Amino acid sequence: MSLTWDPARYLAYADERGRPFFDLVGRVAAVDPRIVVDLGCGPGNLTSSLSDRWPAAAITGVDSSDAMIAAASDTSVADRVSFHRADLRDWLAAAPSGGVDVLVSNATLQWLPDHLDLLPALVRAVRPGGWLAFQVPGNHGEPSHTLRAELAAEPPYATHTAQVAAPYAHDATTYLRALQALGCEVDAWETTYLHVLHGPDPVFTWVTGTGARPTLQALPDDLRPRFEEELKARLRAAYPDEGHGVVLPFRRIFVVARVPA
């Protein structure tokens, strides 16, 4: 099944989704980089913000989704910010060794089950002394994910959802040690954000923009509405609104690595 993404749904909580990106990039101490690449750029709003951080850099956003690249191209703020459709693995295979000064990947690697094995290729793409920075969600044991998985494993849904993609990430220490073994200086940490969400079924809106999307697309049209209503009910019970909005705890794992000179 070819997965499609909805930029508008993804941007429903743009401020909350964007905060980890800025926390990540804020730890990159690059001075006047020439080439900056954002792998998995999504709708491009965060990629375009890098033009303010590094005003002399040529900035490229890469994403495998036609819809995301179309949305990203509409947000481009300068000629030196461009967007290209490519699978992350294909981009790595074609990237010249040491061609990037700053390589960023925000909430993307978790969709690649073998992404730990891709770290050497990511490091090779960065010039000596350059920077690799990525962030992945680390909340896959939370109800926002487990309730979706539990429901998807029940009849009549299980027949259709058994092989759907599910995000996965390692802990911060695993990434730190793997990159240290490649000679990098590494800063790795975790943060749990407490997002206060408003609106009808806000956690459902959040998860259907990202982690739950493959499950929903795998379901036939006659089953999807029933699944959505059952998932909404379970999420409402797990994340009650006590009058001040729904609190969604969200753990994120950050890694910033300086490639050896």
Please write the tens of the pLDDT for every residue from 11-47: 677 889 999 999 999 999 999 999 999 999 999 999 9
pLDDT grade for 1, boundaries at 50, 70 and 90: very low
Amino acid at 8: A
Cβ–Cβ under 8 Å, residues 12 and 240: no
As a whole number of Å, the CA-based R_g of the chain is: 19
User: CATH 3.40.50.300: does it fit domain 7-258?
Assistant: no
The DSSP secondary-structure symbol of 101 reads E
**Residues 45, 75 contacting (CB under 8 angstroms):** yes
- Helices then strands, each counted (H, E), the chain: 12, 7
pTM of the model: 0.93
Q: Cα dihedral sign for 21, 6, 48, 134?
A: positive
Is-contact 105 64, C-beta < 8 A? no
Looking at residues 3-16, what average pLDDT do you find? 70
Q: What is the pLDDT of residue 2?
A: 52
Domain ranges of the chain: 7-258
Instruction: Give the count of beta carbons closer than 10 Å to the beta carbon of residue 52.
Output: 9
58 has a pLDDT exceeding 50: yes
Contacts of the segment 174-179: beta carbons below 8 A, 24+ positions apart:
174/116, 175/116, 175/119, 175/253, 175/255, 176/255, 178/116, 178/119, 179/119, 179/123, 179/132, 179/255, 179/257
Using DSSP, state whether 72 is helix, strand or coil.
Answer: helix
Q: Mean of the per-residue pLDDT values for the chain?
A: 93
Q: How many CB atoms lie within 10 A of CB 11?
A: 16
Cα(49)–Cα(39) distance, rounded to whole angstroms? Answer: 15
Contact, 152 vs 145, CB < 8 A?
Answer: no
At residue 7, the pLDDT reads 61
Q: What confidence score (pLDDT) does residue 163 get? A: 87
Kindly report, residue by residue over 199-238, the tens digit of the pLDDT.
999 999 999 988 888 999 999 999 999 999 999 999 999 9
Class of residue 174 by CB neighbours under 10 A (exposed 0-12, middle 13-18, buried 19+):
middle
pLDDT of residue 165: 84
Q: Are strands 81-85 and 100-106 parallel, antiparallel or unpaired?
A: unpaired
